[in-house]
A = this chain, B = another copy of it.
Amino acid sequence: MDTSFFDTVKTGDASLPERVAGQISQLIIDRHLTCEDKLPNEFELAEQLHVGRGTVREAVKLLVARNVLVIRRGKGTFIARHPGEVEDPLGFAYYADKIRLAQDLLEVRTQLEPWVASLAAQRASAEDMDHLREAALLVEQDIFSGKDHLGQDTKFHICIAQCTQNLVVPKLIPIITYSVELFGSLNGNVLLSETVSAHRAITSAICTRDAKAAEQAMAQHLEHNRAELALIVKELGGPTFS
């Protein structure tokens, strides 16, 4: 076992389990371990890192909490499918002013998502297009059967992001489509018919490689959301920044 990665022991304020967690992270990075790979067992790690097995166990718990590692019962500890990715990584759930947050998220989406739709139209593969049509259908199914469609709605927007072939965009979109859910909770889903027609227009534009139309359809979709949000804010009597 190569031990060079153990040379970079962080010193400073971090606790011992925290430092050992850092070393294990570095091991995952250096060896390009992926979700197929099992982490060396506690005993082996303890020996290599010159720490007790209790410390290794604490370090592993930290990395599980951060979604770097996953424990599969009876099978051992594995690298997570998307190591280090966490739900709500920017802590939006902890913001008090949800209206302001919804407005600011929408402002960022308005800058980003029409461009994303345009890139998607230019770069989507045939397979991407199939996924996109499927994702659009699932949103409609939820809407027409009276179910909560927001989970599928977010997936639809992530699907568009995946069509861009950019590694970063699909990671960013879930962060800002946090607003989809937030917005849904604010407006009580009054936009259902607009959602169906807008999603159809966006899907059709991307699948015919019409970048300009995709960009416009997305911009229009978000503008509709913005107007609706402004109305809600007005009713609530709060300030509006739009």
Interface residues of A (CB under 8 A from B): 25, 28-29, 32, 61-62, 65-68, 82-86, 88-96, 100-101, 104-105, 107-108, 111-112, 115, 166-169, 171-172, 175-176
Contact = CB atoms under 8 A, between A and B. Distances in A.
Specify how many copies of this chain sit in the oligomer: 2
Contact of A90 (B68, B84, B91, B92): B84
Nearest to A67: B91
A61 B65 contact: yes
B94 A90 contact: no
B94 A89 contact: no
Contacts of A92: 84
A86 B89 CA distance: 6
B94 A83 contact: yes
A215 to B, nearest CB: 12
Nearest to A66: B65
A169 to B, nearest CB: 6
Contacts of A65: 61-62, 65-66
Contacts of A89: 84-86, 89-90
A50 B172 CA distance: 38
A116 to B, nearest CB: 9
Given A86-B89, A88-B84, A175-B172, A166 B108 contact: yes
Contacts of A168: 90, 101, 104-105, 107-108, 176
Given A25-B93, A172-B175, 7 more contacts: A61-B61, A67-B91, A89-B90, A107-B166, A108-B166, A172-B172, A172-B176
B91 A85 contact: yes
For the complex of A and B, the 7 pairs showing the least CB-CB separation, nearest first, are A84-B91, A89-B89, A65-B65, A83-B94, A90-B171, A104-B167, A104-B166
B105 A94 contact: no
Contacts of A29: 93-94
Contacts of A105: 168
A157 to B, nearest CB: 15
